[in-house]
Structures are given as C-alpha cells and as structure tokens.
Chain A
C-alpha cells in the first residue's frame, strides 16, 4: 500500500522515500483518489519518481489510471544532460490526440439531416480494425508524411493552410527523420492514413451545452447556436510499431534489471538510441497530425455537400501522448527539459510562443473528450499549470473498468437505445465496440475537469454534448 498525503482538496502527495528522487504529486478530489487507489497507478507514479534526471515531481492528472510503465495521466520532466526518455512515458499510441472544429451550421439544421450525415461520414472515414485508409500511399509518401505531418496533407489538397496554425507544433514537429523508422512501421502505415481506427477513438458531432467563460469561448469561436465536431485518434499501427521497436531496442541495449519496473525501459536523452527514439516518435507524431487533418477534410466535404455554405473551422488540435523538449522554469531559471505527457494535455497559459498568435493573449485551447455519450470539455491553458504541472492537465475520463468486464456488464444494443433516449445517435463497427466503451466504464469526466479547474491547471471554458457519434 502506498501512502498518499492530502495537500488540499485537489492535490495529494506521495512523500519522497527510498529510491525516489522526487515526490509524487496527484491532482485529484477525494472521489477520484479512491478510483486511483484501486489499480497500480500510485505505484507507477512512485516508480517514475525513481528515473534518472526527473525534476520537481512525478505527476498524475485527475483522470490517471494504470498504464504501460507510466500511468495514463502521467507527466514527468527530465533534465536534458542526465535525464532519460522512455517509450512507456509516451504510450503505444503516439500522438493520440483530439481536434475540435466549430461551424456555422445550426443545431436544428443538423438534426434534420443527422442520420444521413452520420451514414455519409461513416462511409467516408474508414474505421475499425484492418479496414484500410483513405489514401493508398507508397512508402515514399509515408516517409514524407513522417517528416512533414499535416503540412503534407495541406500541400496535397486536404484542408487549408490556416489549419496548420491551429495545430500543436503547426502540425509538423521538427527533428523527425524517417530514417529512424523501421520498414515494418512504415508498411503498417501504408493503408492507414486517414483512418480513425478502433478502441476509444471516435468522431462526434456536438452541441455546446454550457459556456463558463463567455469571453474566451468567443475567442475560440464557440457559439451555442451551432454544432461543433470533435475528432479523436492517433498514429495507428505505425505509431504502435515504433513504440514496440524502440522498447525492444532499449531492452537489448540497456537491459531492465536495474529498473523498478520492466515497462519503464528508457534511454538517456542524449544517447544515440535516445535521440533516435525521439526522432522516430516525432515521425509518428507527424503521421497522427496528418491523419487527423485528412479525416477532418473528409468530414468537411460531407458537410459541404449537405450544407453548401458550410464553414468548418479548426479551433485547435492537441496531443495526448508525447514527449517534447520544452522550456520551463526550474529554481527560477529557464531550462530546456524533456516533458513526457502520457494521457495528458499541454496547458500553456498566456504569452507562450508555442501558442498560435490568435490565442496567445488568453492561453491555449485544451480539448478534453469524454467517453461515448457523455460530455466533453473545452478548457484554457494557465500560467499556474506551467508552475505546478509543467504546463499539463487531464486528457479525458480515464477507464475504471476492464474491457472484458464491460463486455459482461453492458450490451451494445441496450446502450445504443439508452443513448437514443438522450437524443444521441451512434454508429459503430459492431455492438461490441459500443459495449467496451460504454460510458459506465469511465471515470466521471465532470469531476475530472472540475479538479483541473479548481487546481488551476486548466480552466473551464465550455461543455459540449454529443448529438451523433461514430465509433471505430
């Protein structure tokens, strides 16, 4: 049993002891900490605190749950000189992320054509396992995508230039050399560009249910009259293969005997292998940006066909699974660090140069998807987050129940009819994928964002509710 000390209503600490180099810090309410204590999350937070070069604290977000190596919802920053980079601190689905679009389409107009549009999107956006992608790519094309990200998509007619400014890293993260990605990974990417995948990934058409901050909502283009669209997916099999490849390579190079947990395999950031992993991971980041850009383009085309005057604007695209070199203040000095965010969203406050110019005075938009059929949220990044969580907040609801338990407990047909009674239409590859992602298997998203807001690591702007959901 790992002891946690209550610091405030929304913050807990695992005091530094034994081999820990820093304390553990968990942002959670009484209710959420109870959930967190149920699996290995706290142990994972403690183990991460033992990794070389970690600074300040091993941090867990309000939606934290057990993951591979790091907990999901885990954030840790490492010194560049003595620190490490770990695939388990990023996750298998590199740059799993989410983008939000606003529109000029009235909720009532959409509802009239809801079924038709949902069917058309389902046809245009490939989803599920092994169902292929939107584009038949060659290996050469994939290599370009790995280095150019969403820029490649825009150059090839998928979307507009201004979309790039509204994407983290402008849709193209630098230091991505496709030479560092295996043939196997590239081959897995050949048929997956522009596809949603399965699991917890989804595409939603929503309405804005509540606005908490009128001024900021307006700056983000959120308007209660009109629908919004959310796209949640990642780097698909290509990213999974890169993670697998480098976990194996690091085990071969360094072994895992001295690690608190085999899954925390890592390499020094400035070692040859560490640098290669960073570059390969960045390639997967770019693939995912490009993937979401192409999916968005397919969705836009469906709406333009149904509403000739439709204008769908990208608010922002954020990464949930990534390690990044960023500048942060440590002991009142600005230093470059490697920040791992695994199931966490960047939360930069006003002024950061990484934020698009249009949002720079207010802070970056943060998009937190809920589970199927529950609310999702838009938050705004804060200065406080930069001080206490290396500019990070939650990324979603976080699972509380295994997929197998979910399959036993929920029936897809029943969930579908329950959602329909709440005026939510759903279309999925199969009944099973509905049951596995039933709202009941997740933590309470409302509580997750409340804690984020109260802790000041991401402030509430708006709440959106689904009208139509497409699942992989």
Chain B
C-alpha cells in the first residue's frame, strides 16, 4: 500500500508508506495529489525541486507545501516523482525530479489550503517508513 486515508471531521488525514524515507515522502506527495484528483495525470512537464527542513517533519512539510505552491503559481499538478534524494547535513535537504501536467486539463475537486503540523509524524516501524499528515481543506 502506498498510502491510506484516515477519518478526520473537518480536514483530511493520511498515512504514506515506503521501504525507504524517500519512498514514504514520494507516496506522501502522491496522497496529497490524490485528494485533489483521483484519475490518471499525464507526465508532460518535468521539473526539479529542492527543499530544506530542520528535521524530518519540517522537511516533509516544506516538500508537500512546494506542490501547493507550484499548483497556484505554475498550474503544475504532480503525476509522479522520478528521482528523489534526501540528505542530512546540518539540516535535512531533499532534491527531486518531478513530473506532472497543467492542472487546467483536469477537473480537480478539493482545494487544499495548507499542510499542517497537526498530528504529523515521520517514523520507522520495523522495516517501514511511515509519514502521517493532516491537511487543512
């Protein structure tokens, strides 16, 4: 399972999974897009992104927020993530090659207002990484 949604009255909560931290981050991004659009999205546009964060949670927050920003500023709707690399020096940093399409070609549903730190965690359980996120809708 890449991700699953959990019950939350006003907002939307999901958990994303991965064998690596990178995979769990990637699946978090795919879960985020799934909230807005459930069908197939073409990969007509390729971009590189880079985000930083002082801890794993901050990195995840900034990573996901980047997709909301790209949606509003460039009409970019994510379809897939090709390369993704997370590094830890003084702080965490993430580089990724992302694919997607112009959102105007899709009948999207919900508007995500923001990523929140509400109930957020990034943890390793047995051999699996889990990211939990609540987004404000």
Contact of A199 among B7, B116, B117, B137 (CB under 8 A): B137
Residue of chain B at shortest CB distance from A199:
B111
Query: Hey, which chain A residues are within 8 Å of B77, CB to CB?
Result: 130
Query: Hey, which chain A residues are within 8 Å of B103, CB to CB?
Result: 129-131
Query: Hey, which chain A residues are within 8 Å of B109, CB to CB?
Result: 129, 198, 429-430, 432-433, 436
Q: How far is the CB of B129 from chain A (nearest CB, A)?
A: 22
Known: A399-B10, A402-B9, A429-B109. A68 touches B69 (CB 8 A): no
A251 vs B137: C-alpha distance in the bound complex, in angstroms?
Answer: 22
B93 within 8 A of A: no
Query: Hey, which chain A residues are within 8 Å of B110, CB to CB?
Result: 129, 198-199, 403, 432-433, 436
Query: Hey, which chain B residues are within 8 Å of A130, CB to CB?
Result: 71-72, 75, 77, 103-104, 108
A402 vs B71: C-alpha distance in the bound complex, in angstroms?
Answer: 24
Contact of A188 among B7, B72, B111, B115 (CB under 8 A): B72
A66 within 8 A of B: yes
Contact of A244 among B5, B10, B104, B114 (CB under 8 A): B114
Residue of chain A at shortest CB distance from B11:
A68
A92 within 8 A of B: yes
Contact A399 B72 (CB under 8 A): no
Q: How far is the CB of A105 from chain B (nearest CB, A)?
A: 31
Q: Return the CB mask of A323-337 against B: 1 if under 8 Å, else 0.
A: 000000000000000
A251 vs B61: C-alpha distance in the bound complex, in angstroms?
Answer: 13
Contact of B72 among A39, A93, A128, A237 (CB under 8 A): A237
A190 within 8 A of B: yes
Query: Hey, which chain A residues are within 8 Å of B36, CB to CB?
Result: 129
A305 within 8 A of B: no
A198 vs B71: C-alpha distance in the bound complex, in angstroms?
Answer: 14
Contact A187 B69 (CB under 8 A): yes
Within 8 A of B (CB), among A127-146: 128-132
Residue of chain A at shortest CB distance from B58:
A248
B68 within 8 A of A: yes
Within 8 A of A (CB), among B1-45: 5, 7-12, 36
Query: Hey, which chain A residues are within 8 Å of B61, CB to CB?
Result: 248
A contact residues, total (Cβ < 8 Å): 47
Contact B72 A402 (CB under 8 A): no
B125 within 8 A of A: no
A472 within 8 A of B: yes
Q: How far is the CB of B1 from chain A (nearest CB, A)?
A: 16
A243 vs B75: C-alpha distance in the bound complex, in angstroms?
Answer: 21
B97 within 8 A of A: no
Known: A65-B9, A402-B10. A92 touches B69 (CB 8 A): no
Contact B73 A240 (CB under 8 A): no
Query: Hey, which chain B residues are within 8 Å of A187, CB to CB?
Result: 69, 72-73
Residue of chain A at shortest CB distance from B37:
A129
Q: Return the CB mask of B97-137 against A: 1 if under 8 Å, else 0.
A: 00000011001111101111110000000000000000011
Contact A430 B108 (CB under 8 A): yes
Contact B111 A129 (CB under 8 A): yes
Contact of B111 among A247, A399, A402, A472 (CB under 8 A): A472
Query: Hey, which chain B residues are within 8 Å of A39, CB to CB?
Result: 9-10
Query: Hey, which chain A residues are within 8 Å of B71, CB to CB?
Result: 129-130
Contact A188 B69 (CB under 8 A): yes
Q: Besides A188-B69, A198-B108, 18 other CB < 8 A contacts? A: A129-B109, A130-B71, A130-B103, A130-B104, A192-B72, A197-B111, A198-B111, A237-B68, A241-B69, A244-B114, A244-B115, A247-B117, A251-B117, A262-B118, A263-B117, A399-B10, A403-B12, A429-B109
Chain B positions within 8 Å of A, measured between CB atoms, are 5, 7-12, 36, 61, 65, 68-69, 71-73, 75, 77, 103-104, 107-111, 113-118, 136-137
What are 6 A-to-B residue pairs whose CB atoms are below 8 Å? Answer: A128-B107, A199-B111, A244-B65, A401-B9, A403-B110, A436-B109
